[in-house]
Amino acid sequence: MAKLFKPLMIAGAVAVVAVGGWLALRPIPVPVDLAEVTQGPMEVTVNAEGVTRIHNLYHISSPVSGLVLRSPVEVGDPVVAGKTLVAAVEPGEPAFLDERSRLQAEAAVKEAAAALKLAEANIAAARSALDYSEAQMARYQRLYDNGNLSAQEYQRQRADLETKKAQLAAAEAERDLRQSTLERQRATLTGPQVPEAGDDLTDCCIRLTAPVSGQVLSVVNTSQRMVAAGEALLTVGDPKELEVSVDLLSSDAVRLKAGATATVDRWGGDGLLQAKLREIEPSGFTKVSALGIEEQRVKAILDFTGPPARRAGLGNAYRVYVRIVEWQAPDAVQVPIGALFREGADWAVYVDGSGVARKRVIKLGRRNDEVAQVLDGLKPGDEVITHPSDRVAEGVQVTPR
C-alpha cells in the first residue's frame, strides 16, 4: 500500500507544477474601456463666454451747466418715450465772492455809475446845443425866404442842425450803454440766496424726458447737485432688445459667418436659449488672458431668436456661455476623441476584434471636444478602445473593464 501511495504523490506534485507553470506563462487579457462608433447628427462649435447688453443704450446728460434736482426716477422704473420726466435742471446759483473780488466789483459799480452821470451830462449839453441850432435855423429860414441870406450860408446852417441832432442821438446811445454796464457790474455782486419757504423749486428751465420707452438702467446720482454741461445723469434702454457680445479669438472668428446658429447656456434659467450670429466686428484688439498671454480677440454680436418671455430675468451685462455652430452634419459617423492616437502622420484606433486588440488606421474629418467625424476606416457598431494604455498593442488580448 505504501509502495502504491508514493507514486501517486509524485504524480500529483508533477501535475500541480505543470498547472502552475501553465497559469504563469499563459497571456492575461488587458482590461480596457470600450466605446461604440455611432452615426448621427454632429456639430463643431466655437465656445466662449459672453455678456448680454441692450442693443440701444441712451446715455442722458445735462445739456447745460446748472443745478440738477433730485432724480424723479430710480433704477428699474419704467419710462415712456417723450412723456416720463427723467431729470430737471435749474440755473445754478452764483458763486461766493472773496474780499478782493468784492472790492473790485464794488469799484467797477462806482466806475460805471460815474460813467452814466457823464453820459447824462453829455446828453444835456447835446440837447442844449441842438435847441440853439434849431433857433438859429428858424431865423436863417426867414432870412433865406426874404432873400437876405445866401444859399450857401443856409445849407451850412442846416448841416450844423443835423450834426447837433446826431450828437444828441450819440449821447443818448452812450447813456444806454453806460446804464447796461452799470447793471452788469451790479450783477457781479449778486451772491447765492437761500430760497424762502414755499418757493416752487420744480419750476425748472429745462426738463428732460425719456428718449425711448423702456426702463431706467442706471442713475449716476439721485441727489440734487451742481453739474457741468455734458455731465452724465442716467441711462435708459429697452431690456427686450437684448443681444450678446462675445470676445472670440481671431483665429476662431475667421471660421464663422454671419447667420450662424448658436445656443446660450449657463444664463441662470432652465434650458438653452437660441441665438444667431449677427456680425463679427472688423477690428480686433489685444487682451491678456488669465495666464498672462497676449491674445488677439474680436467681438462677435449675437441676437436672440426666441420670444423674450423665454429669457425672463435676463438683463443687461449678464454673464452667459455661448456655443456658435461652425459646422454641422445630420448623419456623420463618429468616434470618441479619447480613442484616437497618432500613427506617423495618420490617425489610428484600436478595435476590439473578439477579445483581441486590432490597430486600424482611419481617416478623419471634423472634430469637436468629444467626437471626431470618421470618413474612412470605421463603421457604425465597431467597438474601439478608449484611452489605450501602453500595454495595449496589436494582437494583445483585451477584456472589457
CB atoms within 10 A of CB 34: 16
Please, what is the angle between helix 99-145 and helix 151-187, to 10°? Answer: 160
- Which long-range CB contacts under 8 A does 304-308 form with residues at least 24 apart? 304/242, 304/243, 304/244, 304/264, 304/273, 304/274, 304/275, 305/274, 305/275, 305/276, 306/273, 306/274, 308/240, 308/242
**Which three cell numbers mark 98?**
472773496
Question: Residue 289: its pLDDT value, please?
Answer: 86
Cell of 31: 482590461
Please state the length of the chain: 401
Query: How far, rounded to the nearest angstrom, does the alpha carbon of residue 46 sit from its chain's CA centroid?
Result: 23
- Cβ(273)–Cβ(244) below 8 Å: no
| pLDDT tens digits in sequence order for the chain, 401 residues long | 555 556 666 666 666 655 555 545 556 888 999 999 999 999 999 999 999 999 999 999 999 888 999 999 999 999 999 999 999 998 877 777 788 888 888 899 999 999 999 999 999 999 999 898 888 888 888 888 888 888 888 888 889 889 999 999 999 999 999 999 989 888 888 766 544 544 454 455 789 999 999 999 999 999 999 999 999 999 999 988 999 999 999 999 999 999 999 999 999 988 899 999 999 999 999 999 888 999 999 999 999 998 888 998 898 999 999 999 999 999 999 999 999 999 999 999 999 988 899 999 999 999 999 999 999 999 999 999 999 999 999 989 998 98
**Under CATH, which architecture does the 43-53+240-400 domain have?**
Beta Barrel (2.40)
Distances, alpha carbon 308 to alpha carbons 272, 275, 279, 302, 311, in Å: 13, 12, 21, 15, 6
Q: Residue 138 burial by CB count (10 A; 0-12/13-18/19+): exposed, middle or buried?
A: exposed
Contact 42, 371 (CB under 8 A): yes
Decide: 359 and 394 in contact? Cβ < 8 Å: yes
Q: Contact 138/131 with Cβ under 8 angstroms? A: no
| Burial of 172 from C-beta contacts in 10 A (0-12 / 13-18 / 19+) | middle
Q: Which residues contact 20 (CB under 8 A, 6 or more apart)?
A: none
Give the global pTM.
0.66
Q: Which of 115, 106, 121, 124 is nearest to 179 (CA)?
A: 115
pLDDT number for residue 92: 76
Q: Diameter of the chain by CA atoms?
A: 197
Residue 197 has what pLDDT?
46
Would you state the CATH architecture of domain 58-93+214-237? Answer: Beta Barrel (2.40)
Q: What is the gyration radius of the CA atoms in the chain, in angstroms?
A: 48
